[in-house]
């Protein structure tokens, strides 16, 4: 190893020879900013002088471009400091134009995430200091990129997208609203801000998703309907199994509501009305049909006081305000629509016009009727087909359309991507790294309200495994209704892939 005497400037010049002298720095103001265009390539080397000369010229151009160091006016540089404990870069002079899409404020100070700071260092906008000495880009790569912050591959994807103009943020799983929440389209409430706060402090760990709240069920018959809706929206819609405490409160609340729905001729079995019973007998409860044109009831009677808990006084319910909210107008169809409907209904048999079906008072009776009919019709079926263990999937005349037929004979049910996701375990290998927003939205981009991202980026490499169905399901679930793009890094080259859900057509129209 060469003897390292680091005390003289001259030696520094030879060892770290990329130091520019002040005159060089001064001359750098008038540098060209154009990149030379590369010419056509040749097919075979033939040892000719012309080829050698061209190669040398290309190489010289190449080295000139690479050797050029970044020289900036001190006034244009934003000064910043690297804080290793927090793994953040704190700005010490006012931020420039980049503040519109990058960085965040906290406790009165402005911060940049390590990948953003490194990118800005490469662009020549920010000069980051550590212990009063400026960091070179090499030191930036070594210090800022790690498994806890952002890996080299992820940074390469980040840089690539930023150079194209996209706005790229780190992905935070808890900030993905579920489809239900998006449907409700709530304005940013204080709850949202609280979530963003958590997002800043621990940007990689998800917020705990089992937020308990008092009223889990939307009730349409109580006065404070709007309040209930807001409370219900706070609980993440992705919960599959309510825990016991929620279920109990649901039952006690519904015990009183149930009585609203009883029609006068059907008395509830007194056993179920006591709140101690954990299970209801749905077969004995009939729900009023307010929407169908056949129902004539305009009001519901007051329930039997013996069914109500405690000393509750409940009067009759007037249904007319509710009926008014329902649109029970006859649909007026155009001539073409009416024709189309006639075509569709040509072979349509209304199940309710069947007298026997009308006699059924609940589902159990109806299913019984269907079963009886089936057994009756079985008598004229060929024995050798239907009495063995293996029976045909469908009968002639049973189906009216291709789709029904295909449904009947499809033993392998087709599934869609979101199915069965809740039972999947989280995978460490496949995680979404970034939110990406489109470049043309930069003008109106607001860091506090970024809106729905254009896509979510998942970074992987050609050396690693191809994403399997488990990973795809889990990632698309985690991503909500935003598409997921895979950025595959191959030694500096980045390719983008995405998977699209596709439904095979099942019917012909």
Question: Which 31-90 residues touch another protein, going by CB under 8 A?
Answer: 31-33, 35, 38, 41-45, 51, 54-55, 58-59, 62-63, 65-77
Instruction: Calculate the alpha carbon distances from 463 to 153, 376, 488, 489, 490 in Å.
Output: 12, 63, 9, 9, 8
One of 191, 287, 462, 497 touching another protein (CB under 8 A)? 462
Sketch the per residue contact string, 252 through 291, with another protein: x for CB under 8 A, - otherwise.
----------------------------------------
What torsion do the CA atoms of 299, 303, 304, 309 make, to the nearest 10 degrees?
-170
147 in contact with another protein (CB under 8 A): yes
Please give the structure tokens belonging to residue 395: 């009968």
* Nearest approach, Cβ of residue 435 and another protein (Å): 20
Tell me the HSE value of 32 on the side-chain side, using a 13 A CA sphere.
Answer: 5
Picking from 486, 485, 475, the residue whose alpha carbon sits closest to that of residue 431 is 475
Please give the Cα distance from 143 to 117 (Å, whole number): 12
Are the C-beta atoms of 260 and 303 separated by less than 8 Å? yes
Using CB under 8 A, which of 97, 201, 491, 500 touches another protein? 491
Does residue number 164 form part of the binding site for another protein (CB under 8 A)?
Answer: yes
- Which residue in the set 10, 94, 133, 201 belongs to the binding site for another protein (CB under 8 A)? 133
Q: How far is the CB of 353 from another protein (least distance, A)?
A: 57
Least distance in angstroms from the C-beta of 172 to another protein:
23
Choices 252-260, 279-287, 487-495, 499-507 (CB under 8 A): range interacting with another protein: 487-495
Per CB under 8 A, does 123 bind another protein? yes
- List the one residue from 1, 10, 298, 412 that touches another protein (CB under 8 A): 1
Q: How far is the CB of 374 from another protein (least distance, A)?
A: 48
Among 83, 109, 137, 402, binds another protein (CB under 8 A): 137
Candidates 99-107, 152-160, 299-307, 397-405: pick the segment binding another protein (CB under 8 A): 152-160
Please state the three-class secondary structure of 95-133 as a single string.
Answer: CCHHHHCCCEEECCEEEECHHHHHHHHHHCCEEEEECCE
Q: In terms of CB distance, is 8 or 334 closer to another protein?
A: 8
Instruction: Provide the minimum distance between the beta carbon of 84 and another protein in the complex, in angstroms, as a whole number.
Output: 9
What is the H or E stretch that residue 90 is in? Answer: strand 88-91
- C-beta of residue 99 within 8 angstroms of C-beta of residue 91: no
At its nearest, how many Å lie between another protein and the CB of residue 22? 4
Q: Segment contacting another protein (CB under 8 A): 18-26, 209-217, 243-251, 418-426? A: 18-26
Among 48, 83, 109, 142, binds another protein (CB under 8 A): 142
Question: Nearer to another protein by C-beta: 28 or 186?
Answer: 28
Cβ distance 231 to 253 under 8 Å? no
Taking the least distance from each CB to another protein, the nearer of 14 and 221 is 14
Report DSSP letters for 320-368, one per residue: HHHHHHS--PPPPPPHHHHHHHHHHHTT---GGG-HHHHH--SHHHHHH
Dihedral sign (CA 218, 223, 225, 228): negative
Is 96 a binding residue for another protein by CB under 8 A? The answer is no
Nearest CA to 458 out of 446, 447, 471, 448 is that of: 471
CB-based contact 173:478 (threshold 8 Å): yes
């Amino acid at each position: 190893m060469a003897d390292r005497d680091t005390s003289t400037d001259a030696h520094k010049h030879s060892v770290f020879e990329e130091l520019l002298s002040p005159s060089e720095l001064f001359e750098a103001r008038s540098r060209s900013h154009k990149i030379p265009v590369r010419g056509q390539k040749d097919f075979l080397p033939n040892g000719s002088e012309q080829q050698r000369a061209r190669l040398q010229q290309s190489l010289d151009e190449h080295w000139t471009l690479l050797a050029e160091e970044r020289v900036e006016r001190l006034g244009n540089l934003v000064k910043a400091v690297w804080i290793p404990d927090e793994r953040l870069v704190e700005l010490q002079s006012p931020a420039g134009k980049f503040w519109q899409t990058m960085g965040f404020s906290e406790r009165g100070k402005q911060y940049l995430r390590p990948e953003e700071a490194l990118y800005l260092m490469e662009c020549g906008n920010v000069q980051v200091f550590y212990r009063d000495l400026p960091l070179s880009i090499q030191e930036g790569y070594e210090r800022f990129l790690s498994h806890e912050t952002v890996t080299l591959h992820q940074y390469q994807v980040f840089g690539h997208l930023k150079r194209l103009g996209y706005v790229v943020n780190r992905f935070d799983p808890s900030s993905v609203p579920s489809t239900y929440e998006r449907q409700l389209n709530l304005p940013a409430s204080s709850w949202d801000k609280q979530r963003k706060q958590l997002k800043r402090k621990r940007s990689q760990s998800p917020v705990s998703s089992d937020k308990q709240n008092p009223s889990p069920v939307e009730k349409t018959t109580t006065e404070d309907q709007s309040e209930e809706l807001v409370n219900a929206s706070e609980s993440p819609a992705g919960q599959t199994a309510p825990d016991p405490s929620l279920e109990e409160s649901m039952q006690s609340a519904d015990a009183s509501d149930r009585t609203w729905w009883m029609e006068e001729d059907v008395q509830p079995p007194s056993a179920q009305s006591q709140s101690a019973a954990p299970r209801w007998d749905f077969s004995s409860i009939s729900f009023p049909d307010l929407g169908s044109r056949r129902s004539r009831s305009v009001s519901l009677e007051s329930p039997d006081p013996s069914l109500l808990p405690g000393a509750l006084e409940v009067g009759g319910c007037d249904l007319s305000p509710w009926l008014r909210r329902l649109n029970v107008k006859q649909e007026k169809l155009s001539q073409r629509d009416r024709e189309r409907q006639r075509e569709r209904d040509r072979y349509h048999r209304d199940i309710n016009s069947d007298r026997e079906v009308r006699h059924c008072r609940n589902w159990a009776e109806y299913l019984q009727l269907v079963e009886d009919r089936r057994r009756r019709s079985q008598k004229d079926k060929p024995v050798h087909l239907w009495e063995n263990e293996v029976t045909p999937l469908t009968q002639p005349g049973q189906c009216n359309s291709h789709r029904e037929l295909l449904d009947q004979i499809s033993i392998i049910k087709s599934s869609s991507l979101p199915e069965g996701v809740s039972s999947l375990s989280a995978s460490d290998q496949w995680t979404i790294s970034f939110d990406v927003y489109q470049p043309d939205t930069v003008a109106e981009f607001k860091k506090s309200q970024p809106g729905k991202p254009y896509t979510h980026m998942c970074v992987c490499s050609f050396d690693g495994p191809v994403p399997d169905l488990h990973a795809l399901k889990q990632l698309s679930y985690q991503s909500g209704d935003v598409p997921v793009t895979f950025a595959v890094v191959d030694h500096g080259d980045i390719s983008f892939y995405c998977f699209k859900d596709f439904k095979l057509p099942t019917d012909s129209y």
